[in-house]
Structure 1
């Protein structure tokens, strides 16, 4: 089926030019309507239900921007919008990009190639969005996907993924393709004068980073807190030969774009390269050290070589306990391990920069791995003292140790009150995951790895909050799906068994009879009698 396109502009020559500029049929696109003002465009969208709209921002009656806003509220993400603009309309462009417009094109610079690039980009986005709507996208929702990815990378940056198997499983489930040969992590600080709008500004900045960096290099962007994020650069053998120059040039262009749009300044420190993405924590820590040692006003620093001098405080002896405390939302265990880390920092007489780095790592773990972590951490520190961000101004190890103790004290009460609700929510998310992946051969070990829990803990948690074991719930979900397929009458028994991941139709029949009390064929006969 052809992709449906509507073109809107109040200038007849522009309308004609856009219709003839590309061979739309070759792209699988059908122009189903044209419009010369916002009202006509709105009516055409309602009538034609297009996949894509190319529209001028300024038009009579209603602007293209207004139509984009109203369309997003009424129809959601589809149709996608590409906006046409003039040089003086960049204030509107900022707003359009926050509304998730695919792209903007300056009319005076419009060429066949620039139009084709934007349209191709839109077609790719359409394919992904339609896959989501058809439930063929392999995870719960795109927002949930990004949340899982952020947690995966935070664990990876801090060395909290305890085995290669766990790394490979989560990478596969999250559709993270580490296909390149080299990787480097960029640690980013965000500076803005618009503190009152920091949440929207942060996510607009992240969105712009993804959009702009994606034009040049393969990257993954990970949110840390509202003032920090990490960019993982994926580099080929050819690119790594000159990676310092390449990354600096790409960042310079990107930082300028972000400053022009949002008046936000970014400070970027890029760690040394690693070949194995499982060891991205080495690049992340070197980027953090580079930021801590920054002695001038440069906004982009790239590590020249791998430097093992002045290595960080070793968190390895504490990682299993930290992971368990975050995993189980165990306030008492978290308080104890943070106290032990604070004491160790003091007893080893750790350098202040290393102490700040250690405390910051734990801060990011808390923000990212705890439910509603940002608010939990914020409430642990009084605003008048600079809040949790005061850590960035510390000059002594003693201050860092005291900070960790205050963090532990502030989290204890809140974690105890939220623990039960959080556990129930975790189980509900896993149940939803099972339902959306009912055609796969699910096992407890893989799902535990996916959600970042130990197998024993997840088994106990699931039984407590589901009223049945993981295996029982998965089996019942598969049988419920089988009954729905039988009711639709589209599949034979052996096809259902195969589609739902059973090893044979015999085994499927056996399980079905155990759950329902009758065989699949008897159940089908019962359905046929009801229909007749």
Structure 2
């Protein structure tokens, strides 16, 4: 059925014209009636009628002004019939000039109107496929933010190849949908259109079987509002093709996963694996998995993996006392096409770091590293057991190695370092004695006084006052 819009400020026309003839038998139906040119223009945008029957003289916008404005806005795919109670030829001339098909005087002769409508049908104008393509392109990719009530529901499938677009068209038509293919930038958008709400919202099995092709799929949306949402959903999914190359991505599924998934991963796991040289591949696989559980964009991923790597470096430096060469690979990964390519580069960096860590563990002086770590963490609860765990050594072996190399056991060495640090702080700062005691890891002030006097034969206060 061709859609007819009636625009007239006379109630007699508004109410009587729909009843004047048998529209349905002629292949027409009234889609809307508007009382003035302004509302008529809005109805043209909304309903995209095939025929517009309009009065010339109306308030706000005249019929001719309405038709001119519709042309300016790109709405030209309709047949216009001008009505007027004035026989002045100048109106007819202007109507013909702007593309109106016919000019009828009021009162309307029903036989004359029927002849015009038959003539329109005999012209066999292609109101559907060509116009749907043009109209939908303007509404989805252009500036036309009105809906399209020719259909009720729409779903968008974005693909890269024309061959797959044609496959989808065949599948859609076999499911009873009208299908329009739009080319935009380097992609094809295959639009499934339905006048009735689809009963089964699942993807047809034939689509699910299209392998090795990236297909982005919007939700089913109603066509009574801005159709740019159809494109917005596809652009949203485009952010995640980096994570899921050559897969079918459905908007609501990705959105739900993005909002609801929670995954915590400690970079300490990777750092510990580097030190003990065990299970690094397994731990890295778990690390990458958390990005797919909580979808993020390619830019966010590249930034995060660089920061995570830096966190591992800092842990090895501060907690393990290692001299690690810092590496920045962000510029190397930010332009890669998929997460698989990023994994390959970053995993290689971690295995190079593993080799560096193991080389340092094998060649470095473990005693010197323990001494360095102890001096930097005096306020903590230090013990030989903790040192053995931190540096992945057997406790008994480490104790013997430390005593042999330093000439005293670790606890005696630690006590001496703490007292020397306390002495330095008493000489160079205005800190209270209890504050210094806490800073060197002896929070019990009485015990601190006792140890300090045993070392320096003077109390902390006497030492600071110079009475030694």
Q: State whether TM-score is above 0.5.
A: no
Higher relative contact order, chain-length normalized (CA < 8 Å, sep 6+): 1
More helix by share: 1
The structure having more radius of gyration, on CA atoms, is: 2
